Structure 1
Amino acid sequence: MELRKKPRFKKSSVKTFSFFLVFSAVVWILVQFSKTYTQVIEIPVSYINTPLDKSISEDRPDHVDLQLQDNGFSIYYYKFFNPRLEVDLSQARENDGKLVYSLQNHLSDIEQQLKIDFENSLIVQEEIVVPFQFKKEKMLKVEPRIEVSYAVGFSADEPIKLQPDSVKVSGPEEIIDSLTSVPTRSIKLNKVNNDLNGQVGLDTSSLGELSFYENTVKYFQEVEKFTEGSAEIAVEVINVPDDLNLAYFPKTVIVYYQVNLQQFESVSSADFRVICNYKDIKKGDDYMIAQIVEKPDFVNNVRLNERRIQFVIKR
């Protein structure tokens, strides 16, 4: 008995069929996407430039509806890539506890952001209404975190000054009430030999819920050439009982200090006072601690060559 052979398709026929099938599908898709459709698409909204004295509600609108009349390619582009609309609240008007942003008055800006033509499209809403609450305002003192290392022979009479030395902030009452100051960012200035004049930002890294009316301050300091001086000063012991015969050594100490060159000649030994307080002696000690209790206001880095003053009580 003769067996029938199964019909075979030629490879070239399969390839041809597949090509025309894919080609037909592509042509169909192109034709469908080339047609004009009308569809409403949700455009996400983000808010910028919120007035510093206001906090916008979490219930604010998160999108606007765009009615788009265009070919399928454009519509699916907006669906998949979903461009975002930025709403500038500094352009909104205030009305009964709400910020009202007119979309119709900002169509040209919206066109640029969304890359659309409003001849064939429109924003369904006329305006965006954003509820808000007023923030509490307060002045906070600015604390400098500026570490200065002066070059040899240079120093400053006055601490670093800030301008402004206080800044206005606004925010939730519970946070505002807990603050009295805000620090600057930490900076280090090394080998300084000229007047300081710069700008530094505020460290608001942990204060994200607050709005700062100023984010930077200026800093100043006069830096001058200094020299070191010294003076021999008699040690004075105070609060010694009248019936006590106290002998101590040394009787004098050397005070070292830094002073502006222009004021060097103005310093004399009479400007300093060094004392030991007998009442501060601890039981069993045979020495007192010398302290500088008077010095000119314009000298700094004052120190003693000897702080321990030995003593004995004579019988």
Structure 2
Amino acid sequence: MTPKFLKIFSSTIFSIILWVFVSFSYEYTTTLKFPIKFTDIKESYTILSQSANEINMTINGQGWALAQISSTTIKYFQIPTDKKVGYQSADVREALSTNSWINPSVQISIISPSVIDYSIERLKSKVVPILPDSQISIKNGYGVVSNIILNPDSIKIFGPQTLIKSIKYVFTDKIQLKNIDEDISLEIVLMPIKHFKFEKETTNIEFSVQKIVDKTFKSVPVIAENVPNLRTLELFPPNIDLTLRGGLENLGIMGIDSIKATVDFNNAFIDTLGRISPKISIPNFTTLTNVNPKTLKYIIKQN
């Protein structure tokens, strides 16, 4: 690097620094926008309403001071409250001193709005159920083989006492699950409600999906119920075969002890055809597709 190049480079850098210094020494006018944050609110109280959500300020000052305000990490305008319950008004100019991040060397020429109306109300809480807003489609040949579970299925909410009575439940964000062929465990966000806070912002939705198949259970015993002590109800045949449709994994571990087939003695006693149909109880998330035989012959004997 030649001495001539170093001289030119140094002169250029110095000129840029000088230009920046001179430019930032001039007076400028800018308009900035800041969201409002109320302070000094008592514990167990909350803001119910406010006439504006942000403040527009037209500021005059040197470039250095304006750049400092524009680059501040504080992104809100603080308004201290009166700590009283009910409707109140705040003069925004009176709140300028509370916002220490505003450089005292600048001049605030315009503030809009100049007055903020707001109301403070007591904070209440209650527990409400969560309702999923979901659209679920299952792949052909598969099915849901469990309850759809939300965990948690209810949530504690906090809000103004005049509004909390009207909140009966909280919805989740809308979710769409298409062509599902496997178990689902998914975290979903709760839909926010204006003026309210939630103990937790999410819930989990869980359910099981399996391939749907048929399985036949042979020789399921039929039990006679409500038989008097001095009577006997004999069935022909005493066992039945039946077919269930359900999830592949669920049916794979299911035995005949999961199924209950019964007949009621009283139905046989008043029957005039000589045949009765068994009542069959099957596990949840299965469907009975076939019973053989569908009716049973019987004999009532005196003991």
Q: When the two structures are superposed, what TM-score results if normalisation uses the length of structure 1?
A: 0.51
Say if 2:214 is the partner of 1:228: yes
> Could you tell me which amino acid in structure 2 is paired with residue 150 of structure 1?
I
Structure-2 separation of matches of 1:64 and 1:200: 31
> Could you tell me which amino acid in structure 2 is paired with residue 267 of structure 1?
M
Asked if the contact 1:104–1:126 (Cα under 8 Å) also holds between the matched residues in 2, the reply is no
Say if 2:157 is the partner of 1:169: yes
Which whole-Å deviations, capped at 9, do the CAs of 1:265-288 have from their partners, x for residues lacking one?
x43334432113345789778644
Pairwise CA distance, 1:305: 1.7
Which whole-Å deviations, capped at 9, do the CAs of 1:161-199 have from their partners, x for residues lacking one?
435443331234465457664343565534311332445
Q: Secondary structure at the residue paired with 1:167?
A: strand
Cα gap change, 1:282 to 1:187, in 2 (>3 Å): farther
Counterpart of 1:96 (choices 79, 83, 92) is 83
Q: Residue 291 of structure 1 aligns with which residue?
A: 280
Structure-1 separation of matches of 2:116 and 2:250: 67
Structure-2 separation of matches of 1:203 and 1:292: 40
Structure-2 separation of matches of 1:139 and 1:311: 56
Asked if the contact 1:244–1:313 (Cα under 8 Å) also holds between the matched residues in 2, the reply is no
Q: Secondary structure at the residue paired with 2:177?
A: strand
> Could you tell me which amino acid in structure 2 is paired with residue 238 of structure 1?
E
Higher strand proportion: 2
Q: Residue 56 of structure 1 aligns with which residue?
A: 47
Say if 2:261 is the partner of 1:305: no
Structure-2 separation of matches of 1:152 and 1:178: 41
Pairwise CA distance, 1:67: 11
CA RMSD of aligned residues (A): 5.4
Alignment of 1:158-237 (within 5 A): 158-173=146-161, 176=164, 181-184=169-172, 187=175, 189-202=177-190, 210-212=196-198, 216-225=202-211, 227-232=213-218, 233-237=220-224
Cα gap change, 1:239 to 1:263, in 2 (>3 Å): closer
Which whole-Å deviations, capped at 9, do the CAs of 1:56-115 have from their partners, x for residues lacking one?
356x67799999999xxxxxxxxxxxxxxxx958x4556633798833444988xxxxxx
Aligned residue pairs total: 239
Q: Residue 137 of structure 1 aligns with which residue?
A: 125
Cα gap change, 1:130 to 1:156, in 2 (>3 Å): same
Asked if the contact 1:142–1:184 (Cα under 8 Å) also holds between the matched residues in 2, the reply is yes
Structure-2 separation of matches of 1:55 and 1:249: 74
Q: Secondary structure at the residue paired with 1:305?
A: strand
Cα gap change, 1:247 to 1:191, in 2 (>3 Å): farther
Q: Which runs of 5+ in 2 are unaligned?
A: 1-33, 61-74
Asked if the contact 1:273–1:292 (Cα under 8 Å) also holds between the matched residues in 2, the reply is yes
Q: Residue 239 of structure 1 aligns with which residue?
A: 226
Cα gap change, 1:243 to 1:199, in 2 (>3 Å): same
Higher Rg of the two aligned structures: 1
Name the % identity.
Answer: 17
Q: Secondary structure at the residue paired with 1:135?
A: strand
Which whole-Å deviations, capped at 9, do the CAs of 1:123-166 have from their partners, x for residues lacking one?
59999684412220223332335454433454555434435443
Cα gap change, 1:253 to 1:88, in 2 (>3 Å): farther
Q: Residue 72 of structure 2 aligns with which residue?
A: none
Range with bigger deviation, 179-188 or 133-142: 179-188
Q: Which runs of 5+ in 1 are unaligned?
A: 1-44, 71-86, 110-116
